[in-house]
Amino acid sequence: MLIQNLENKTRLALTTVVITVVGCVLFCCFTLWSCLAMVSSERDQVYVLDGDIPFIAERAKMEENFTLEAKAHITSFHQLFFTLPPDDEYIKWTLGKAMYLADESALKQKVTLEENGFYNELISSTGVASIITDSIKFDESARQFYYYGTQIIKRRTRSQRRSLVTTGYIEIIERTANNPHGLLIKNWRTLENNDLN
């Protein structure tokens, strides 16, 4: 009777220990999972301080703002490519920056403009070229854009306004310091560049 009672008490103690250990392991796993989920959700939030008051600013994914990012990228490229003062070094610098935003199709247009003497004429006549974005039509599914703008070339003797329509495609690439939107303009070509005067 005493041995049976001792055996039951040992079995009860062993069962209690096993249940306690399994319960602790399950509790630790649940706690770890909860902490990882909380840290993951907190990484999507950034707190911005306005004086002493913190505001939550949630990080947006590129897909949510793809159209806006694409239009900003297209505008930046056209500003760099077509806004040119009569300064050879500055022209080389801005065109170099623009080449990071597009593929070899932009380089071909740059070489064509060089061969036609556009940049030399701009420098020799102390002309200033600038561009105004009228609108950008962007098809998100095909990733194709149409850029509508007005190019203004001011020289000492005259001022010239030209309508500019270009088209191309957008490709997603890695973000870099030279390409902060992480987009690349492909197959860029000019459809229209006519005098308005």
Distance CA 101, CA 96 (A): 9
Report the pLDDT value the prediction gives residue 3, as an integer from 0 to 100.
Answer: 63
Query: Residue type for 125, please?
Result: S
Structural Rg of the chain based on CA atoms = 32
Residue 137's identity, in one-letter code, is: K
Q: What is the reported pLDDT for 61?
A: 59
Helix boundaries (H) for the chain = 2-43, 66-82, 88-99, 104-115, 118-124
* Average pLDDT over the chain, rounded to an integer: 87
Q: Residue 124 has what pLDDT?
A: 82
- The pLDDT tens digits for 181-194 are 889 999 999 999 88
Average pLDDT over residues 97-108: 93
- 150 by Cβ neighbours in 10 Å (0-12 / 13-18 / 19+) ranks as middle
Tens of pLDDT, residue by residue over 27-65, are 999 999 999 988 887 777 777 777 777 777 665 555 668
Residue 163's pLDDT is: 93
Coil vs helix vs strand at 176: coil
- pLDDT for residue 125: 81
Q: Is the pTM of this model over 0.85?
A: no
Q: Give pLDDT tens digits for 147-159.
A: 999 999 888 878 8
pLDDT for 64: 64
Question: Residue 145: pLDDT band by 50, 70, 90 thresholds?
Answer: very high
pLDDT score, position 97: 93
Whole-angstrom Cα distance, residue 157 to residue 163? 20
Question: What does the pLDDT read at residue 189?
Answer: 92
pLDDT at 58: 62
What's the pLDDT band for 126 if we cut at 50, 70, 90? confident
Separation in Å, CA 154 to CA 38, 122, 127, 130: 58, 9, 5, 9
